[in-house]
Amino acid sequence: MTGVMTFRYCVIGSQKQKKNPDTVCCSHRDVASKTVRKFFFVSRDIMQKVQNGVRLSGVYD
């Protein structure tokens, strides 16, 4: 199961991308070591899927 990662809601507000207000900041969380590797922005519809429990794989690698 390489390339599988979980996305955790991170910050909304000051961290929001001004270019695209529909994106939110997320963290790439390593499931094995339980450490946050990096932060990135994803669109709100993807966040909705994440909040609904859908697991995304290596899209933002």
Q: Would the pTM count as exceeding 0.85?
A: no
Distance between CA atoms of 55 and 5, rounded to whole angstroms? 8
Distance between CA atoms of 34 and 49, rounded to whole angstroms? 21
Q: How many domains does the chain have?
A: 1
The band of 52, judged by pLDDT with boundaries at 50, 70 and 90, is low
Q: How many CB atoms within 10 Å of residue 26?
A: 23
Domain extent, residue 22, equals 6-51
33 lies in some domain: yes
The band of 40, judged by pLDDT with boundaries at 50, 70 and 90, is low
37 lies in some domain: yes
Distance between CA atoms of 19 and 36, rounded to whole angstroms? 25
60 lies in some domain: no
